[in-house]
Amino acid sequence: MDIFSSGPNPGNLVVTAGLVVFLLVMSSRAKMLDAMGSKAAAGLGLIVGGLGHWTWLLILLGFLLSSHKATKWRFEEKKALGLSESSDGHRGWTNVVANGAIPGLICIYAYLSDDWTTVVWVFGAAVAVAASDTFASEIGCLDPRVRMITTFKSCEQGENGGFSPNGQLAAAVGSSVVAVLTYLAWWLTTADTSSMNGTQLCVVLAVVGWLGCQIDSYLGALLENRGYMSKGAVNASAISGGVVMMFAYLSSL
């Protein structure tokens, strides 16, 4: 049974199903997601693994695990300051959809285009933006050196559009984690890795993820703070920006 071929084949589907079960058990025990969030994540996992590849699902799992750790980091302090998204750090289905809908659509595109070797980098870009933004928000919110990205004037901790030194560093770390996982997924599933410079694409992907986080901050400052966009819409728009940038770079090669 071949487990390294992408798309809906027996080997890939078996491993994907196992990873989805693992995701459900893990999220339940660690209280990463609420009931609806777990169902949404399971559905997304089946799409990502079944139409993409199980290694793509590992990228998502890496994002989920690392972002949960970032969320729980100094959680009581964030809760006391009113900067936590929930009372115990779990996330719901709206968060799963906001961060996972576009990666899911990219997997459908990979299946329809019969191109997983190139599209895995686009998928990685979408997840990298989500990871970068999550790390920046969860770690940067406790850095008092916050400035508004549009004016560079001091602002409140946790305010949409605010950025801090620790937050920017955390954004780079989150994006880099996903970039490395994407490189590994590409290397494991690509027969001829000499056809693309994987190391270069890994670096570009990390940069694209970080830039996507900046798009999120700008949209938060300009539109979310004024009530023109919801948090989910801002997240989806920033992820779309990262996808466009990665597509543009791949098209230039």
Distance CA 55, CA 189 (A): 8
Collapsing DSSP to helix, strand or coil, 154 comes out as strand
Tell me the average pLDDT across 207-233: 95
Q: Which amino acid belongs to residue 83?
A: L
Tokens of 242: 């990262």
How far apart CA 128 and CA 205 sit, in angstroms, is 8
pLDDT of residue 83: 67
The first and second tokens of residue 89, run together, are 């750090």
Q: What are phi and psi of 154, to 5 degrees?
A: -60, 145
Split at pLDDT 50, 70, 90, the class of 84 is: low
**Cα dihedral: 184, 214, 66, 198 (round 10):** 10
pLDDT tens sequence across 161-184: 999 999 999 999 999 999 999 999
Comparing 79 with 96, the larger pLDDT belongs to 96
Q: What pLDDT score was predicted for residue 30?
A: 74
Among the listed ranges 1-15, 89-103, 226-240, which one has the minimum average pLDDT value? 89-103
Q: How many CA atoms lie within 13 A of 177 on its CB side?
A: 24
